[in-house]
Amino acid sequence: MTEFIMYYSAYALSGGDVCTWKLCYPSLNYINYKFPKSIINDWRSLCLLVFFLWATLMAPFMIACLYYEEHFCRAFINNLLKIDSKK
């Protein structure tokens, strides 16, 4: 049982790292380029941390998000901007 936990935690952490690198960074860079006065840019590190934790917990399901990377990034950007417009 301890080997399973060790292997799964390594898989989840590496999956969270890859998803953050491939999905969240490009989305935040796009928002920073297109909307420089967005509140998302002020809370970038918190956004990265929350996304990393979410991607780590949901690692088995993030494979589909990596496969449909462009669609996920577009939806992620739209949802972040919706949150920004509510403020």
How many C-alpha atoms does 65 have within 13 Å on its Cβ side? Answer: 23
Q: Whole domain around residue 11: which residue ranges?
A: 2-86
Task: Note whether 55 and 20 are within 8 A (CB).
Answer: yes
How many domains are contained in the chain? 1
> Could you tell me the pTM of the whole model?
0.84
Residue 87: per-residue pLDDT: 60
For 35-83, write each residue's pLDDT tens digit: 998 888 999 999 999 999 999 999 888 888 888 999 999 999 998 888 7
